[in-house]
Amino acid sequence: MSSMQSSADTLPAAVATRRPGAVARTVAEDGALLALACVLGIVESWVPSPVPGVRLGLANAAILVVLVRSGWVRAFRLSVARVALVGLATGTLLGPVCALSISGAVASVSCMAAARRIPGLSVVGVSVVGAFTHVAAQLIAASVLVASGAVVALATPALLSSLPLGLATGAIAGALVSRLEGMHRRV
């Protein structure tokens, strides 16, 4: 009995990476950022917008931080989880609005992961790429769903407004990344 107990105790340490605290830290950080992304997404859905489809995209800042710090696999998972949770909270899960969010989220995370590999592109540039592809994917999904000329008329203003908003979220994400790095050095 005592031998079983000891083997069960040593197992997690063997499974974990060399630094035992690293896994717990990553899980905690991802959890906090998922919560942040969800809250930002829900709060954002309350903010009225002058043009339909134009939103701040603050939730993308949290996803971008995960992408920079933990890689694209975690960012992808977190992004999908965020869409599901926000959909559940706002009551749009599995509806047409949710189809727009999921297509935007998947496209932006994939393109941000690709943009991250381009040398010289900073967090701000990656964020701009993410915001642009998010809007573009949503427009494509909307044109499939609606099949109307209104979506086409919306394309240029929506895509243009995504660029400064991408700059803003990129700046926020950059600040968050440097803050988190400073925090880790201190701990």
**Contact residues for other proteins, defined by CB under 8 A:** 92, 97, 115, 118-122, 124-125, 128-129, 132, 136, 139, 146-150, 152-153, 155-156, 159-160, 162-163, 167
Residue with tokens 């999904």: 141
Taking the least distance from each CB to other proteins, the nearer of 38 and 126 is 126
Spatial CA neighbour of 60 closest among 133, 121, 9, 7: 133
Distance in angstroms (rounded) separating the CA atoms of residues 117 and 128: 15
Handedness of CA 120, 124, 128, 134 (dihedral sign): positive
Taking the least distance from each CB to other proteins, the nearer of 39 and 167 is 167
Taking the least distance from each CB to other proteins, the nearer of 28 and 118 is 118
> Do residues 84 and 93 make contact, with C-beta atoms less than 8 angstroms apart?
yes
Taking the least distance from each CB to other proteins, the nearer of 89 and 121 is 121
- To other proteins, the closest distance from the beta carbon of 8 in angstroms equals 50
- To other proteins, the closest distance from the beta carbon of 135 in angstroms equals 9
Residue 173 identity: A
- To other proteins, the closest distance from the beta carbon of 163 in angstroms equals 6
- To other proteins, the closest distance from the beta carbon of 89 in angstroms equals 15
> Do residues 104 and 134 make contact, with C-beta atoms less than 8 angstroms apart?
yes
Taking the least distance from each CB to other proteins, the nearer of 7 and 122 is 122
Residue with tokens 């954002």: 44
- To other proteins, the closest distance from the beta carbon of 1 in angstroms equals 60
> Do residues 175 and 134 make contact, with C-beta atoms less than 8 angstroms apart?
no
